[in-house]
Amino acid sequence: MSRMEKFAYGLLVIIAVIAILGIFYSLFGSGDSEERVDLAAKDSQKPVITLVLRETQSDFWQTVTMGAEAAAKEFGLSLVVEAPADSDDISGQQALVTKSLKGKSKALIVAAADDVEMAKTVVSARIPVIAIDTDIEAPSVRTFIGVDNYEAGKKAGEQIAEMMSKQGQVVILSSVKDDRNMELRMRGILDAFKPESFVTVLDNRYCLSGIEACEQVVQSLMNATLVDGIVALDAEAAIGAGRELVRRGEEERVQVVAFESAHEQLEQLQDGVLEATIVQNPFSMGYLGVKHAVEAIDGDQIPRRVEIPSKVIDRENMFWMDNQKLLFPFVK
């Protein structure tokens, strides 16, 4: 075979190989493409559940979202999480809920900023509504998932009274006003103080502009009078109070009992700035919200109320294994 014939033969072999590869790709490569399209279509066909929160920036609501996302993955759902830019934007949250009710969502999970106004928004909902954190009195609401805030308040009141040897002047501090959960906590605290005739509620103050505002409120109070104890009804109030006490060097004298478990709060607890904090389980709240939404979509019976237990965490028990799981549910 001449050199020219060998070259022509080799060229034919290369062309044949390319042709075979082309046929192979058309048979199998396009199949992969169709499979990817099918998977995307299947993903778009997943039932959609919308979770509308008060806000998404705090540790608490981020943990609620983690729980909801874990359940959505487990049950094969598409989860949409929305919240207004401002946690106090009641009308903004209502608008998000209205949009969800008019959209493709099969169920709605909502943590209402205002339970009365939200009841008006969801009253005629045609999909199951799951209330978390704050109960909503409306026929469309299938269940409420959250803590008993009155009982949690009693725990806080009993705890601060014990820390103060059942005597002294207490300030109740909150970063929000006209909030159902805060009102229930306050009622529980006051009822816990009734048998303790030597515990006096000096003042009930609201610091409505965040942690720094709470610092200033505590500073003003302590400049004016003797404060023996503080009950902080939420994370911002607790952190603000703790910072001011450290600044004044009075964190050992003034007893502080708080609610929630933001990262800085846990540091304050470990350092002895806070004596105790009442915690719930936001991860479970988010997870159970999605779980019961799925059951409602399927037409299953679900309980009208699902209580998330509250627990007193202090410096002694915060490192117990069960409490570590409660405080850090996303760490394995």
pLDDT, residue 207, reads 92
**pLDDT beyond 90 at 30:** no
- Closest listed residue to residue 250, CA positions, set 277, 265, 228, 235: 228
Q: What percent of the chain has pLDDT over 70?
A: 86
pLDDT, residue 10, reads 43
For residue 313 the two structure tokens come to 């965490």
DSSP string, 226-283: ---EEEESSHHHHHHHHHHHHHHT-TTTSEEEEES--HHHHHHHHTTSSSEEEE--HH
pLDDT tens digits, 292-328: 999 999 999 999 999 999 999 999 999 999 999 888 8
Question: In whole angstroms, what is the distance from residue 104 CA to residue 101 CA?
Answer: 8
pLDDT tens digits, 164-213: 999 999 999 999 988 999 999 999 999 999 998 799 999 999 998 789 99
- In words, the CATH class of domain 149-279 is alpha beta
**pLDDT beyond 50 at 286:** yes
Q: What percent of the chain has pLDDT over 90?
A: 79
pLDDT, residue 43, reads 53
pLDDT, residue 204, reads 92
- Fold match, 48-147+282-309 / 149-279: yes
- How high is the mean pLDDT of the chain? 88
For residue 325 the two structure tokens come to 């799981």
Question: In whole angstroms, what is the distance from residue 286 CA to residue 234 CA?
Answer: 19
Q: Where along the chain do its domains lie? A: 48-147+282-309, 149-279
Q: Mean per-residue pLDDT for 50-68? A: 95
Q: Which fold has domain 48-147+282-309?
A: Rossmann fold (3.40.50)
Lowest mean pLDDT among 18-22, 86-90, 147-151: 18-22
Confidence of residue 9 (pLDDT cuts 50, 70, 90): very low
